[in-house]
Amino acid sequence: MRGSGRGPRRRTTRGVAAVLAAGALTLTACGGGDGGSGSGRPPSIDLPDLSGQSLEVAAVWTGAERDNFLRVLDEFEALTGASVSFVPSGDNVSQFVGSKVEGGSPPDVVMVPQPGVLHEFAENGWLAPVDESVQAQLDANYTRGWQELANHEGTQYGVYVKAANKSLIWYSTTAFAYAGVEPPATWDDFVATAWTVWESGTTPVSVAGADGWTLTDWFENVYLSQAGPEMYDRLTAHEIPWTDESVTEALTTLAELFGSPQLLENGNDGSLQTDFPTSVTQTFIDLETPDAGMVFEADFVGSVISDSTDAVIGEDAQVFPFPAVGEAPPVVSAGDVAVAVAPDGEASEAQQALLAFLASTDAARIWAEAGGFVSPNKSLEFDAYPNEVQRGIAEALIAAGDDFRFDMSDQTPAAFGGTTGQGMWQGLQNFLRDPGDIAGAQEYLESQADRAYRD
């Protein structure tokens, strides 16, 4: 249907194509001149001429994240002559795409934040597999692990364009200097550091307990490092129950921190009322005498710091990798995968070209230079990142190779891993409220998982 609508138009506009292509070339030249993107570098990808074609891209991003993405799309428009429009999808991508498919006009390319949703779409037959040009980019730039995340039953459906490193602890350099401590490398050091910071008169850790997802990230990091990637995968798939010994161990470890109210800003009950942005601002808003010394979360903490505090990342706010609980430090990641939506199963040339471009190093570079972005693309040189902190985050992510694990709560059924007031969110909030009751927390988690995975 869509193809036939486009066909005749393409034929009539073929004459104009040359003119447009010339225009596109000029645009590219301009872009190279002022943006600096791709200047002096040979393009790492050949794109077809798509003059006159239009694409619609949907993603959850707003504000600066959206603007940075638009720069990538601009480059794509300049290179191919296609026109690309951006549609905000809102937080519930699954619902958004579902209603659009139902209505007969789905967006051409969608950025999906959860692997589970990708599987759901693929099951429904809404996605087109990637073609050879995209696969070539994937093979060149992505490790197996990142490719497999966008794989459903052996078919490659998408390209991970944006990654988040969720194994980071941000700290106030003032608080650390006052306490005379250095970033710790192991969990025991971390707890010891927290106690020293407490002795110095600064509350060591700010926990965003009102948002369940930050607690799931705490747990995932401890569990991944302590029990190892295999156990992590099995727990994710609910092959082992939440009452398993390894979960007890991870929660006991976490209780070394959560069990001492002095170590948490505003104590346990206060933490449960602290949302994520507040947990960041209370650590960095007062640069002289910070309320809290450390805050845990992914690289996007950086954008909260620069948006709502005066702290300078790299000077006032520094970051260290999540300490190793077991042998190796954990790398928990999240990310957005670009997929081509085609309910008839065939993706157009333009859709494939955009996916291939997004998988290329050129696109990653433009995005990285804008800041606030980490690419899973292993070919991207680290120099592209605008500052030391961002570079460090990216290096840690790439260095993990295939040993990283995707956010567990994003892979579980949404009723278990992504809903306020139930599942993992509520279970870990119960645990934060009463860290002594590990068995109770586990039983709750298991009963919730049992219900969620059964459906």
Residues at the interface with another protein (CB under 8 A): 177-181, 195-196, 198-202, 209-212, 262, 266, 269-270, 272-273, 275, 288-289, 413-415, 418-422, 425-426, 429, 433, 452, 455
CB of residue 144 to another protein, shortest distance in Å: 30
- Closer residue to another protein in complex, CB, 36/440: 440
Of 367, 359, 343, 339, the closest CA to residue 351 belongs to 339
Do 299 and 168 contact (CB within 8 A), yes or no? yes
Which residue is associated with the tokens 């500052």?
387
Residue 39 tokens read as 């200047």
DSSP string covering 304-341: HHHHH--PPBTTTEEEEEPPBSSSS---EEEEEEEEEE
CB of residue 65 to another protein, shortest distance in Å: 23
The dihedral sign for the CA sequence 390, 162, 331, 431 = positive
What DSSP character marks residue 130? P
Of 148, 134, 140, the closest CA to residue 351 belongs to 134
Q: Is 208 exposed, middle or buried (0-12, 13-18, 19+ CB in 10 A)?
A: buried
- Closer residue to another protein in complex, CB, 211/299: 211
CB of residue 211 to another protein, shortest distance in Å: 6
- Closer residue to another protein in complex, CB, 147/271: 271
User: Is residue 87 within a helix (H) or strand (E), and if so which, with residue range?
Assistant: strand 83-88
- Closer residue to another protein in complex, CB, 177/185: 177
The dihedral sign for the CA sequence 260, 263, 269, 273 = negative
CB of residue 452 to another protein, shortest distance in Å: 7
- Closer residue to another protein in complex, CB, 45/210: 210
CB of residue 180 to another protein, shortest distance in Å: 2
Of 111, 146, 193, 139, the closest CA to residue 331 belongs to 146
- Closer residue to another protein in complex, CB, 146/213: 213
CB of residue 415 to another protein, shortest distance in Å: 3
CB of residue 318 to another protein, shortest distance in Å: 17
- Closer residue to another protein in complex, CB, 373/425: 425
